[in-house]
Chain A
């Protein structure tokens, strides 16, 4: 809305104008592929019921150390096209499952086998492959579902479907996410415990797609903190420790220095917000667009001198303006 109001109508029209048309056999190709995969899936499900090696494989992978299971860096690589310093969009990359391909394929096969089966005493409302395994929401006898599914499959988390969830905005995906975060609670508590004992805490995030809690710590990471990666939790999940350049405390002090400099008039521009970067590499400073003009590069440099760490300047309306009707 607000953003699109500023966009050229011609640009939107051009995007909407692109059109492809399926030729006659497109739907036939899709239907044929569905049949082929159903056939393959039945074969996989049969193998799963018979026994066997498949679940042992998952058990072996799950019991391996964090080094073996780690698949991707939690923060996406910076875009080489960016010249100015820029914080990462998020502390973690959740755009796809951060799992080894063989593990993901096994869990997807488990999911398909579960979806294909009709159970006695409970029904599967929704099931999804997540970084923690297959999260299954069931209706009916939840205890029976746990006994059957968590017994038959090594990486399945069963929880009751909350029928009232959708009325408060928690649909299947929402409830799956909540169950995942409940499962990660013990790992989160263990990660937070160490922040009371050791200095250098920089941030903590749920890393859903990796089934982990990401703990950011100022480098060099103390051995006591690094050792958290070797913890295992009965409920599932793990802790991934990532070293970052600045602690949360250092980022806070830098934000105070910048805010004071701007509010005292030492630097021209209207400050609107401060925030630590999600990836612990600096701070983000919001400047009212009306006072920013084309000075972003220049301002980033000046503010970095004051902050003592990299600064990303973003055009940001004052909070009051954002709350006005039509303010996005």
Chain B
């Protein structure tokens, strides 16, 4: 399979994951593009392995990194209306985006990976780059906090 063929097939799935992680289409596109570019740069080696898994891991880790940086930085040069090559087909409900935004990036990633991809603790740990115990803790606390913050919906 050529990289562009892979990108065409995998981008929709990656966008879905990135949208759930970030809650907005602009950041979702940024994450998806960066992850696909990293796969593209390593295509010769990844093609025979699991490029989709690699791309999804990159999306998850980049999002955590992005969230950490944002906590420390005041972003003033970012236009929420800038054009990105994605259309919103089905919007995430506002209450859900707000509830997810209350979680730490790791908790949010753990919850999303469990809900969207039905991953077990060990695989979530691999995606997050942490131990299984820590992943279990992120998932458990993330779910608990979701219930606390949005009791009427969750």
Listed in ascending order, the chain A residues whose CB lies under 8 Å from chain B are 1, 3-4, 6-8, 10-12, 14-27, 29-31, 33-34, 37-38, 41, 76-77, 79, 81, 89-90, 93-96, 112, 115, 173, 315
Contact = CB atoms under 8 A, between A and B. Distances in A.
Contacts of B87: 20-21, 23
A12 B115 contact: yes
Contacts of B88: 19-20
A18 B115 contact: no
A31 B90 contact: no
B86 A15 contact: no
A22 B61 contact: no
A81 B101 CA distance: 12
Contacts of A1: 120
A26 B37 CA distance: 12
Contacts of B42: 115
A31 B106 contact: no
5 contacts: A20-B86, A26-B11, A34-B37, A76-B68, A95-B129
Contacts of B19: 18-20
Given A26-B29, A29-B85, 16 more contacts: A10-B153, A12-B115, A14-B96, A17-B90, A20-B12, A20-B28, A21-B86, A22-B86, A24-B85, A26-B86, A30-B11, A31-B7, A89-B106, A89-B141, A90-B130, A95-B64
Interface of B: 3-4, 7-8, 11-12, 15-16, 19-20, 25, 28-29, 33, 36-37, 40-42, 45, 61, 64-65, 68, 71, 85-93, 96, 102, 104-106, 112, 114-116, 120, 126, 128-130, 134, 137-141, 143-144, 146, 153-154
B73 to A, nearest CB: 12
Contacts of B130: 90, 94-95
A131 to B, nearest CB: 12
A25 B104 CA distance: 33
Contacts of A94: 129-130
Contacts, number: 139
Contacts of B29: 20, 26
Contacts of B153: 8, 10-11
Nearest to A125: B45
A264 B153 CA distance: 39
A53 B120 CA distance: 46
Contacts of B11: 22, 26-27, 30
A27 B7 contact: yes
B58 to A, nearest CB: 12
B132 to A, nearest CB: 11
The 10 closest A-B CB pairs, nearest first, are A34-B40, A18-B92, A96-B65, A19-B89, A26-B85, A19-B90, A20-B15, A95-B64, A23-B85, A30-B36
A20 B40 contact: no
Given A8-B153, A30-B37, A22 B115 contact: no
